[in-house]
Amino acid sequence: MKRHIEKTSLDAYNVISLELSERQNEVYEIIKEFGPISNAGISRKLGIPINSITPRVYELREIGIVVRNGTAKDQYTQMTVILWNVPTKLRK
């Protein structure tokens, strides 16, 4: 089945991918693929320290391409964590 992608969505994605740093783009792609996901989950997926993830998530939130998507208990720490996701309008 062929999917139709609206030109506005494609334009938004192209602008986003051009303006993000390499690390921001890595974090964005993990959230897009696996969201809702926590900072710790992103850290585990990328194999990099959480203190490298948290600021990137904040930056992505500030530009509006990542949003809070509830909370959950982390499977490893049992702490309540915030889950992040890409807004529906930016998903392809």
Query: Based on the structure, what is the number of domains in the chain?
Result: 1
Tokens of residue 18, six digits: 């051009």
Place of tokens 């992608």: 5
Q: Which domain holds residue 37?
A: 7-90
Residue 36 is classified by DSSP as S
Kindly report the CATH number assigned to the domain that includes residue 30. Answer: 1.10.10.10
- pTM greater than 0.95: no
Tens of pLDDT, residues 8-18: 554 555 555 56
pLDDT tens readout for residues 58-81: 999 999 899 999 999 999 899 999
* Cα angle: 73, vertex 92, 82; to 5 degrees: 15
Handedness of CA 27, 28, 33, 36 (dihedral sign): positive
